[in-house]
Amino acid sequence: MSAEATNPEAHPEARPELRRRGRTRLDLRRLGRAALLGPTSRDRLPDAIGHVAEAHRAHHPDADLSILRRAYLLAETSHRGQMRKSGEPYITHPLAVTLILAELGAETTTLTASLLHDTVEDTDVTLDQVRAEFGDEVCFIVDGVTKVEKIDYGAAAEPETFRKMLVATGNDVRVMSIKLADRLHNMRTLGVMRPEKQARIAKVTRDVLIPLAERLGVQALKTELEDLVFAILHPEEYESTRALIAAHAGERDPLPAIADSVRGVLRDAGIAAEVQVRPRHFVSVHRIARTRGELRGSDFGRILVLVGENADCYAVLGELHTCFTPVISEFKDFIATPKFNLYQSLHTAVATPEGYVAEVIVRTRQMHRVAEAGVVALGNPYATATPDATATATSDAATDPDEERVDPTRPGWLSRLLDWQQSAPDPDTFWTVLRAELAQDREITVFREDGSATGTISLPAGASCIDAAYAQHGEAAHGCIGARVNGRLTSLSSPLSDGDTVQLLLAQDASSGPAAEWLDHARTPAARIAISSWLEAHPDRAMATTSAARAPLSVVGARGGGGNAVADLPDATVRLAGCCTPVPPDAVAGFLVRGGAVTVHRIHCAAVAQMRAVGRTSVAVHWRATADCRVTLLAESFGRPHLLADLTEAIAREGVEVVSATVEPPVEQRVRHTYTLQLPDAAGLPALMRAMRDVPGVYDVRRA
């Protein structure tokens, strides 16, 4: 495949924002020759990194560039004589990677490490030399992006390199920022590789690097990587999309006129705003075409509105929805509920009188920086002092080594990844599970039962109570036997939703373990690895946990007589329904069934609607004046010795007669008890249920 086919930026219609900035593509061959041949004076930066310095000063006007000069001279000297497969001097690669990061607004420490990122891997420069010359922080970042030796790891070198980078990213996210920029430049120049190697690198980029760019919020890198991968792995669809964009370029584009209308509306409302038309990148156009079929002119881009303050975003939204026809289904508020990758914006869509529908994004300028550059826009996220342009530009702004570093992104996905990778020593398992983990593109937050802000658990969308158990308790979750979600008892397989409150119920028996079917409901790698490891270590116990499911509930004596219920039907036999076990003073309904008997249900029982639906004859029912009643209770508990004796003793202390009792065999350390009880007074039922719940090991008591 030609270099042009693998580089969407070669086509003006693919990246029109380059034309808007007025910045020409750099001639890296010329820069390489300047790096090798051009002498530089000691008091100024070498000409070869003038573009880097210019881009860096645009974001950090007061940055001290002397450390960049020293880093460049070391990189140029150490790489001298090395050539890339594309024919340029090798120094052009670290220069290009550093320029990418400089344009995103990276601070000086990141750019210094970027210039040096291949020196330890490909030259005689050592980490000790980097540490002595540039400090511990730059040394840590360079070490983080340095590949492991293939001679030591063989076929496992690639997954182990990514494992090393991810662990380093857990301590400093700038490691992954450099890796992403490095991969972007390599993808731009991938056309010189053999087609099969292009495809292999593109697949790894698609499965690992692009999801990481999304998680770190670096949309500017993510979108271009997507286009480059698209061109390599799907050349025919790429060419058809490129032709579609080229055909649109020759037609009238309605978006500039809509943008002018938006400017006029906001100007009349007194809202200071910058309105831009943002063309979609190739993959975005392809996705829209597959979703909507034939595309209209307004589908090839979106309108971006930039304002100063958060409140202005909502003011803009109000004006747009007042002066245009809003498409309500397209509205999303990512300011009130930011995405887990730092992204914040308001998304909406409006219809014009001409029938066009334009998507509109509203955000502040700071939100825009973060939306484009993600963690790169945070500068030095670990600086403890009040950051200024100079402080964040040097390695002296690093944190106190004794102070815990805080991940500037929402820590859920990264913390989960760092936790489970420790349990996956096998490189193939790590590589497979990593791709599956990164394929989860949404995240939810659930709360522990205490409801505190610190009691939150971040999980991928679709996670179950099993995942929450392992996220909170680690291997202790092997003994989990149930959960309450939003106060209601539920099974461990139940999926969780964003904002749920979860109380996990653990067995007291330390030898208990998970069931094999848990793997069908576990979504997180940590849970799946832990469950699989336990099942492999306990093959006999694993077989036992897959035995027959709990037998149907058998209630002895629950149906029998009618207790205190009296039907307005002479000589009719009255039976209290076992499904809802009504007791005085419950509101009840009676229905005539086969044999001339009257079955009595609580008025809100689901069976009442079924009886009426099938045309059962309704019979009036009332309670006798006597206070005694019969009721069936279900008790859920952990399995432990003497539990039945303790429960019956608690029931006896309340003066209640046990008519019958059924105890089912334990399942996953959970035991279900069914009691049919004769109460001397129905008013004592709440106190009886509280007394049964107070028995150690009992976690739920309810009417049958």
Please name which of 514, 432, 509, 467 lies closest in space to residue 158, comparing C-alpha atoms: 432
Provide the pairing of β-strand 301-307 with 565-567.
unpaired
Tokens 């007074």, located at residue: 681
Q: Which residues partner with 371 through β-bridges? A: none
Tokens 């959960």, located at residue: 483
Q: What are phi and psi of 88, to 5 degrees?
A: -80, 155
CA 336-338-342 angle, 5° bins: 145
Residues sharing a CB contact under 8 Å with residue 267, sequence separation 6 or more, in sequence order? none
How far does CA 400 lie from the centroid of its chain? 30
Tokens 């805080």, located at residue: 406
Please name which of 506, 507, 482 lies closest in space to residue 492, comparing C-alpha atoms: 482
Q: Is 524 left (phi over 0), alpha (psi -120 to 50) or beta?
A: beta
Please name which of 457, 419, 455, 456 lies closest in space to residue 437, comparing C-alpha atoms: 419
Q: What letters, b where the CB count within 10 A reaches 16 and e where it falls short, cover 264-287?
A: ebbeeeebebebbbebbbbbbbbe
Q: Which residues partner with 636 through β-bridges? A: 672, 700
121 classed as catalytic: yes
Q: Which two tokens stand for residue 521?
A: 């409901």
Task: Say if CB 669 and CB 509 are below 8 A apart.
Answer: yes
Residues sharing a CB contact under 8 Å with residue 632, sequence separation 6 or more, in sequence order? 555, 558, 578, 581, 674, 675, 676, 677, 703, 704
Side chain identity at residue 541, one-letter code: R
Please name which of 332, 336, 331 lies closest in space to residue 310, comparing C-alpha atoms: 336
Catalytic residue among 122, 207, 237, 509: 122
How far does CA 185 lie from the centroid of its chain? 27
Provide the pairing of β-strand 443-448 with 488-490.
unpaired
CA 273-277-278 angle, 5° bins: 115
CA 655-586-601 angle, 5° bins: 110
For the packed helices 412-421 and 157-171, what is the interaxial angle rounded to 10 degrees? 130
309 classed as catalytic: no
Task: Say if CB 115 and CB 68 are below 8 A apart.
Answer: yes
Please name which of 205, 206, 210, 232 lies closest in space to residue 220, comparing C-alpha atoms: 210
Q: Is 406 exposed, middle or buried (0-12, 13-18, 19+ CB in 10 A)?
A: exposed
Q: Is the peptide bond before 585 cis (omega within 30 degrees of 0)?
A: yes
CA 124-127-130 angle, 5° bins: 95
Count of other CB atoms within 10 angstroms of residue 463:
25
Residues sharing a CB contact under 8 Å with residue 133, sequence separation 6 or more, in sequence order? 70, 74
Catalytic residue among 47, 121, 207, 333: 121
Please name which of 140, 684, 158 lies closest in space to residue 428, comparing C-alpha atoms: 158
Q: Is 343 left (phi over 0), alpha (psi -120 to 50) or beta?
A: beta
Q: Is 177 left (phi over 0), alpha (psi -120 to 50) or beta?
A: alpha
Residue spans of alpha helices (H) in 146-295:
150-153, 157-171, 174-188, 195-204, 210-215, 219-233, 235-249, 255-268, 282-292
Catalytic residues: 121-122
